[in-house]
Amino acid sequence: MNRAIRFLHSMALIFLTGPLFAQSSSDSIPRYRYLNATPLPSIVTASETESIIPPAGIAVEPKQTITLTEIVAMAPNNHPGVQQAKRQAEALRGEWVQVGLKPNPSVGYSAEEITDRYAGKQGVTFSQPITPKYKRDARQATVNREYQAANETHQIQCQKAVNDALLIAYRVAIAYRKCLILEELTWISQEAQRAGNELLKAGEIGRPAFLDIKIQSERMRIALRDAEIAYRTACKELTILLVLPENELIEITDPVEELPSELNEATLLAEIRAASPELRQAYAEVEAAKARLRQQCAEAGIDYDTNAQIAYNTETKQTEFSFGVAVPIRIFDRNQGNIQRAKSELAASHRNVVRLERLLATKYERQWGEYQTARNRVVSYKMILTEARESLDLALAAYRRGEYDSLDLLDVQRTLSTVQIEYLDNLNALMESQVLLQGSLLSGGLEKPGI
């Protein structure tokens, strides 16, 4: 029985006197590095210390290490949404060339006044439609404005790709750290269950207390399994998004558990509006609509159709030449329908700017509220973590004086572990909000554009 109590004592002390988060995977067994770094109480012998090292878990599985900077650089590469937007913009460059070209001339054969005695007039005809230069210039100006708007669409997709990758990367990092904590807590709970079984047989605790230990052990096992599934799922999502090798776990080496600097509310909304590619695209669409209106007004001008004919008259034995110009008379069709449509599209593009400004404002307020809530929780939980560690120190001191038994000490350890998990959950929510606020409130790069 005394050995079981010492066992519980050593387990709690080993877990709780270590740092909050695991270091990089350069350690042989990173989760349990404080077995050697932290002095153990005198009641634990060297042989006992070696015997309680738990089996390796997800922490020692092979992983690909990557930094957030590398993720940001990789995100737009090979991203289908980014490449799609880029190709759509390049397509407009071809259209710009096309609308500026002059009409092609045509050549044909003509035969007139053919009788049974004479072959009539046999000749060649040439025709050349003439589109005024101001029309071609107006068409190119419209396509140029549309090209600028398409470039902003490309920037939107790039920002979405980066934001999506960062959101998943933080999930990977936080989920991995949760697995480290829950692996240790699960192992300790299982050992506590075995020790509790010995205490139950010795009559030191009752069956209700033992069942409580067993329930806690099962809950930790379920929580660990859930955390592992979440971690592996996030890794798969990131490998798909970044086109990394499949079935490979990922470790984010950045210290994501550190509290980031607080965003400045006074200037943040103005910064989002200034940097928003969505808003820049909306303004570019306004300029494109203005160009389309000018183009339709220019299209109301007159195109000329010229033709010339050279023919040989077999009756008079002479070569004849003729020239003509056809000019349409704008009586019914003065392009008034297209002009009216262009005016309506211009008005709609102005309203789209107003809509986007309001949308950005509402999304900002909602996201800022979530950011404030998450940051308040993270700051509060940092204070709670300090108090939980102090509570552990006091519990350890009381245990050494005989005022706490091993089960009481285990409860204090569970409280600290629970606070650690809750801190990580709130930290993940904080980082998600910060990524969106600093990334123009954009996400969903793999969705169809316009959603």
Q: Phi first, then psi: what are they for 308, rounded to 5°?
A: -140, 150
| Rounded distance between C-alpha atoms, residue 269 and residue 110, angstroms | 71
Give me the pLDDT at residue 37, please.
Answer: 28
What pLDDT score was predicted for residue 56? 55
Q: What pLDDT does residue 335 have?
A: 93
Of 8, 3, 56, the residue nearest 31 (C-alpha):
56
CA distance linking residue 280 with residue 285, whole number of Å: 9
Is 9 in contact with 41 (CB distance < 8 Å)? yes
* Element containing residue 56 per DSSP (H, E): none
Report the C-alpha gap between 435 and 167 in whole angstroms: 7
pLDDT of residue 289: 97
The Cα–Cα gap between 392 and 412 comes to 6
Burial class (CB in 10 A: 0-12, 13-18, 19+), 406: buried
- Count CA atoms closer than 13 A to 363's CA, side-chain side: 18
Domains of the chain: residue spans and CATH? 2-98+137-287+360-438 (1.20.1600.10)
- Nearest alpha-carbon partner for 369 in 428, 429, 425, 424: 429
Predicted local distance difference test score (pLDDT) of residue 164: 96
CA dihedral 221, 227, 231, 236 (to 10 degrees): 80
Q: Is 177 helix (H, G, I), strand (E, B) or coil?
A: helix
283 residue type, one letter: Y
Specify the pairing of strand 249-252 against strand 63-66: parallel
Q: Are 213 and 193 in contact (CB under 8 A)?
A: yes
Q: What is the token pair recorded at 217?
A: 């052990």
Strands across the sheet containing 318-326: 106-112, 121-130, 304-313, 318-326
Per-residue pLDDT of the chain (451 residues; tens, 9 = 90+): 444 444 444 444 444 434 333 333 333 333 332 222 222 222 222 233 333 344 457 878 889 999 999 999 999 998 999 999 999 999 999 999 999 999 999 999 888 877 767 777 888 999 999 999 999 999 999 999 999 999 999 999 999 999 999 999 999 999 999 998 888 888 878 877 888 888 888 888 888 888 888 888 898 889 899 999 999 999 999 999 999 987 789 999 998 888 889 999 999 999 999 999 999 999 999 999 999 999 999 999 989 899 998 988 877 788 888 899 988 888 899 999 999 999 999 999 999 999 999 999 999 999 999 999 999 999 999 899 889 888 888 888 887 888 877 667 777 877 888 888 899 999 999 999 999 999 999 999 888 765 4
pTM of the entire structure? 0.80
20 within 8 A of 385, measured Cβ to Cβ: yes
> Which pLDDT belongs to residue 291?
97
